[in-house]
Structure 1
Amino acid sequence: MVGTGVDIVEISRIKQAAKKWSARFLKRIFTPNELAYANGKPLPYQHLAARFAAKEAVLKAIGDSTIHRIEWVHVEILNDEHGKPVVNLSGQAKKIKQEKNISDIIISMSHTRTYAVANAIMIKNGKS
């Protein structure tokens, strides 16, 4: 294991930020795929907040000053064909993953009506 991270966020904070800064905020934080996924749900802000928490957890799991070089949209949280959340990295995030020899990132997300939480574990060379 390279690192672990956890984050919790109030769903109302994500909703307020989206309403205050509109598309500017959403496009800075979320990829088009993440926005499409969340907007296809009855309560999109719960899903956006869970993805925000997952991105924070991934950045915390990286765990050093390099996280400040990563753009939010370079950490993408999607679901596989079975609904399992997966992390897709691009740009500087992908480069740091390669530099740290990270082979896998395992994430878990959950939400209630008011909070979203996520945890991320970085695996090195397929070993826990």
Structure 2
Amino acid sequence: MITGTGIDIIEVFRIKKALDMWGEKFLSRVFTKRELSYANKKKFSHENLAARFACKESVLKAFGDTRVGIRLKNIEIVNDSKGKPEVILHKEAKEFANKNKLDRIIVSMSHTNNYAISNAILWRNK
């Protein structure tokens, strides 16, 4: 049963701007080491980071108004062996999912040179 949906779009230049303004402080506050390692291996790392940022935001939106206090870094976006994005929750995000008996979070993300977009679907077995 679907219990929540969220969508987010971001202009890639906003990630570039945040990096220019705050550098490592921004990166370490929003992304995990695993996410940064993955993005740094990509040709278009800004676009990749923007897509992951949008994905984190879409998950927060799917959580609804109760998302206050959940840090973006505690919503980790990784890829399975086939490249499919998956969500790993940590700390307060994981507590929220457990409290709400969420069984799965399904995400999809894409980007161009200028925009990144993502959607998230929260799933709970009956």
TM-score when scaled to structure 2?
A: 0.97
Could you say which residue in structure 2 is the equivalent of 1:86? 86
Q: Which residue of 2 aligns with 1:12?
A: 13
Runs of 5+ unmatched residues, structure 2: none
Tell me how many residue pairs correspond in the alignment: 125
In structure 2, what is the Cα distance between the partners aligned to 1:2 and 1:64?
Answer: 13
Percent identity over the alignment is: 50
- Which residue of the partner structure matches residue 29 of structure 2? 28
Instruction: Tell me the residue number matched to 2:98.
Output: 98
Q: Is 1:118 matched with 2:118?
A: yes
| Counterpart residue type for residue 49 of structure 2 | L
SS in 1 for 2:92: helix
Aligned to 1:41: 42
Name the CA distance, whole Å, in 1 between partners of 2:107 and 2:118.
7
CA–CA distance in 2 between the matches of 1:31 and 1:21?
Answer: 16
User: Which structure 1 residue ranges, 4+ long, deviate > 2 Å from structure 2?
Assistant: none
- Give the deviation of 1:69 after TM superposition: 1.1
- Any idea what the Cα deviations from partners look like across 1:24-61, whole Å, max 9, x if unmatched? 00100000000000011111000000000000000000
**Aligned-partner residue type, residue 89 of structure 1:** L
TM-score by length of 1: 0.95
